[in-house]
Structure 1
Amino acid sequence: MKNRIIFCTGGARSGKSEFAEKLALSIEGQKGYIATGQAYDDEMRHRIHLHQERRQDRWQNYEVPYYISEYIHSILEECSVILVDCLTMWTTNLLLQDGEFRSQDDINQREISILDEVQQVLDCVRNYESIEEKTIIFVTNEIGLGIVPENKLARVFRDVMGRVNRLVASHSDAAYMTMSGITIDLKALEVTNNG
């Protein structure tokens, strides 16, 4: 039985998380919610509170801001449908956990480390064996549609986030984009270039 990976993207406040939660609730099995956000200030505490209120008690909750690869196997043992909200915060946490960048080599090494962490999670989901199908849904922000940021950190983040999104989307069985509360099926619209 093949486990499923689903990718849900969109802009800020587009409705992507709500779509992903409804999708997860429509699939049978114990629900798991991997929350990657950290409450560093009042605004983030409020944002986390709103997400928690919306979820209520229908989910088994896991607070994992950094190394999901260390927990994903045990979460798969407990849950059939897992929602990761979100790749954007997770990538931010991993990118900034060691402080400021000292060099371009430091930036490159962090990106390699982040992509390796993401790949480990994807591999664990794909290779996990169970009598029931497992589904993992990744929520993320599409941040590459605007202008090139003026500052270095924002450019580095945009580039790393773009590569993380591409990696997860390339391994996904389904991919959706939500814009202004309207969701489209990206895989159904995908164009392949064989030239």
Structure 2
Amino acid sequence: MAAVSLILGGARSGKSRYAEKLATDSHKEVIYVATATAFDEEMQARITHHRQQRNPEWFSVEEPLHLPEIIHEYASASRCLLVDCLTLWMNNILFMTPDMSPSHYVDRLVQTCRTTPGELIFVANEVGLGVIPMGKISRQFVDESGRLNQRMAEIADHVTFIAAGLPMTLKSK
């Protein structure tokens, strides 16, 4: 099984920066897996900004939906895969495959992590700390994201929560 780290935090908490430092500190070849999709101009600007901020030495893969397949394809003992982020991946699942159960995708991801070599770092938003959303799809998104984070935390060797750029260790094996 890969060494799995889960980095959680709110928007602009510093979670991506922390995950990128972990990837750099691994001293392995880093594969950056981005899950964002540009549904509008504002999101396109965010994606462009993220691309410009990435280490130019890292190989990047942009995959909004087929995360287990990408991990299987690129993972090796000599690599560190940084996935940013699981929350956007869940958003893509809900909107791109509305007839599929999100748990199907999550089960495949967990199984892939259990059978993959190397180091895996996942970034995810902690979306359950705010108010309960009013709309059905928004509540489903919060519920499914929370379930995903719990499943990943269960198999992770390390879970870190970031607030105001400061890491708090939640789990360390």
Please say whether Structure 1 and Structure 2 have the same fold, judged by a TM-score greater than 0.5.
yes
- Report the TM-score, using the length of structure 2 for normalisation: 0.92
Q: What is the aligned residue count?
A: 172
CA offsets per residue over residues 47-71 of structure 1, 9 Å max, x none? 1112111113121111110011222
1:183 is aligned to 2:167 = yes
Displacement after TM superposition at 1:125 (Å): 2.8
Identify unmatched segments of 5+ residues in structure 2: none
The 8 Å contact of residues 36 and 84 in structure 1, kept in 2 or not, is answered as yes
Counterpart CA distance in 2 for 1:3 and 1:162 is 22
Counterpart CA distance in 2 for 1:7 and 1:28 is 18
Displacement after TM superposition at 1:32 (Å): 0.5
Alignment-mate amino acid for residue 162 of structure 1: G
Displacement after TM superposition at 1:170 (Å): 0.7
Task: Describe the SS at the equivalent of 1:61.
Answer: strand
1:94 is aligned to 2:93 = yes
Task: Describe the SS at the equivalent of 2:75.
Answer: helix
Runs of 4+ in 1 over 6 A off after TM superposition: none
Identity %: 37
Displacement after TM superposition at 1:30 (Å): 0.8
Greater fraction of residues in strand: 2
1:126 maps to which of 114, 122, 125: 114
Larger radius of gyration between Structure 1 and Structure 2: 1
CA pair 119-79 structure 1, distance change in 2 beyond 3 A: farther
Displacement after TM superposition at 1:79 (Å): 6.1
**Residue 71 of structure 2: aligned partner:** 72
**Residue 80 of structure 2: aligned partner:** 81
Counterpart CA distance in 1 for 2:161 and 2:125 is 10
RMSD: 1.7
- Report the TM-score, using the length of structure 1 for normalisation: 0.82
Identify unmatched segments of 5+ residues in structure 1: 100-105, 189-195
1:114 is aligned to 2:98 = no
Moved more, 164-173 or 117-126: 117-126
